[in-house]
Amino acid sequence: FDIAKHRALEERQAPPGKGRRQQKSQMEDASKAKWREKSAAFREAMAQNRLIAQYQKEGRSLSELPTLPTREDSSLLPCKSCGRTFNE
C-alpha cells in the first residue's frame, strides 16, 4: 500500500478550488458559530436563574421579573404556510 499514490488519487478527485483544508476550515467556522449561539443562550439562562434566585431570596414576587426576549433558533426553518418552525 502506497499512501502517496492514494493521496494523489484523492487530490485529483477533489472538486476544483475546494481543498481539504478549505472544506475543513468552513466546517470548523460553522461549528464555532453554532457553539457561540449555544454558549450565549446558556449564559443568558444562567443570568436569568441568578435573578430568579435573588428575587426569591429577597422575598419578592417572581411576577415582577423583567421578561426576556425569546431567542430564535437559527437552525429551525419556518413553514411558509403556517409559520411554525421545523428542523430541516
Spatial separation of the C-alpha atoms in residues 61 and 49, rounded to whole Å = 14
Query: If DSSP states are collapsed to H, E and C, what string results for 29-85?
Result: HHHHHHHHHHHHHHHHHHHHHHHHHHHHHHCCCHHHCCCCCCCCCCCEEECCCCCCE
Residue 34 is predicted with a pLDDT of 82
Widest CA span of the chain, in angstroms?
73
30-79: per-residue pLDDT in tens? Answer: 778 888 888 998 999 999 999 999 999 999 998 888 887 777 777 788 88
